[in-house]
Amino acid sequence: MQFESNKSLTQLNTLGFSQLAEHYIEVDSDDMLNEVIEHANRQDWPVFILGGGSNIVLTKDIPGLVIKLSSETLAYENRAEENSWKFRLTASAGTNWHRLVRDSMSRGIPGLENLSLIPGSTGAAPIQNIGAYGVELADRFESLRALHLKTNEWHTFDLSACEFGYRDSYFKRHSGEFCVTSVNLMIGNDKPFETGYASLKQALEQVDADQLTPVLISDTVCKIRQSKLPDPAQLCNAGSFFHNPVVSQQVYEELKLKTPNIVAYPQDEERVKLAAGWLIDSIGLRGTRRGAVGVYDKQALVMVHHGGGTGEQLLAYADEIRAAVKDKYGVTLTMEPMIV
Ligand code: EPU
């Protein structure tokens, strides 16, 4: 086992903040992970599992051991049923998420097209229950395998054990307890295409229903994302920086009286989800900047790092934005990425 010391994490977090890992190792198998965890526990090193680094804000150097899972394997098992063909797709945690989506597309298997081009690794996908254009991971999830870091024992989590919610899961709420090493998805033609999300619906307006294919939807989602969301390789960011806040129907109606063009999506009879990007945009903060950090000019829900800044500076600006939204609308925004 070769541990690196004082490893720079600049290239390993998509916000590009220059923090160090006290110790660092890349792990490519379950057995190696057991050995590494045994060593870390013996040394009393706290352990931090790094995925694609696309949903974290580093505000300090990370003490103890940072582990990156490097294995990228995909396996399909035919689970066809009488009236549908289905596959169980097993992917190791280190697999790039978009690579997994495109691999299933290239085999013509529907299911993951709406989740195209989401940055990050497959192991991180269940942590925040990634979602886009009307589909979230939970809708295609079967189970996952994870190592309990304290006891070094393996566990299997099914859908209900993961306690998925909107950008939320058991693992997000119990951060640092488990390391996810592989994910099982169930995909196939048993579910209809999901094309109802406003921007996707509009982009597919000219396409007849019988012309729709997973690849066409995936390509369309990629185009929409590329037009609104910055590529971390060009401009450092961590995707949506705030959750879309969910408010009661009554709060929504009061807001709508004052601001008739507010963008919102009904959740159920009692709750409404507000578009946080719209709230931030409407108070003129889209495209603004505080030194090295700022708000993306095409999507106000995305905070960006122009280089040479720190996680603390980003959080300070995020607090200003939250205060401005609270002041104008009385709504509290919560941050989506994990603050480290
Ligand atoms: N809007 C504005 N101004 C802005 C940004 C948005 O007016 O600056 C309006 C849009 O015009 C639209 C509404 O707000 O009417 C929603 O915008 P959009 O469709 O871009 O989606 P979002 O709610 O801002 C969410 C997810 C994204 C996901 C998209 C598409 C969250 C926190 N974010 O964004 O997820 O890709 O929907 O499904 O739920 C991520 O989690 O990192 C992420 C990018």
d(CA 104, CA 215): 10
What class has domain 236-339? Answer: alpha beta
Q: Sort strands 271-274 and 246-248 into parallel, antiparallel or unpaired.
A: antiparallel
CATH number of 74-228: 3.30.465.10
Q: Rg (Cα) of the chain, in Å, rounded?
A: 21
Mean pLDDT by 10 residues, the chain (340 residues): 96 98 98 98 97 96 98 96 91 98 96 97 98 98 98 98 97 97 96 95 95 97 97 96 97 97 94 98 98 98 98 98 98 97
Site to substitute for ligand 1 among 236, 242, 278, 285, most atoms within 8 A of C-beta: 278
Is residue 147 within 8 A of residue 179, CB to CB? The reply is: yes
Query: For the chain, how long is the longest CA-to-CA vector?
Result: 62
Q: Could you read off the pLDDT of 133-176 as tens digits, one per residue?
A: 999 999 999 999 999 999 999 999 999 999 999 999 999 999 99
**What percent of the chain has pLDDT above 70?**
100
Q: How far is the CA of 44 from the centre of ligand 1 (A)?
A: 41
Of the candidates 321, 156, 299, 286, the one whose C-alpha atom is nearest the C-alpha of residue 224 is 299
**Other residues' Cβ atoms within 10 Å of the Cβ of residue 11:** 9
Q: Of 273, 196, 284, 266, which is closest to residue 242 (Cα–Cα)?
A: 273
Q: Is 240 a catalytic residue?
A: yes
Fold of 4-69: 3.30.43
Q: Name the residue ranges covered by the structural domains of the chain.
A: 4-69, 74-228, 236-339
CA 280 to chain centre: 21
Q: What is the pLDDT of residue 83?
A: 82
Owner of token pair 């982009």 = 203
Strand partners, 26: 68
278 C-beta closer than 6 A to ligand 1: yes
Ligand 1 neighbourhood includes 3 CB (under 6 angstroms): no
pLDDT single digits (tens) 173-211: 999 999 999 999 999 998 999 999 999 999 999 999 999
Asked if residue 240 has its Cβ within 6 Å of ligand 1, the reply is: yes
Q: Which atom of ligand 1 approaches the CA of 130 most closely?
A: 41
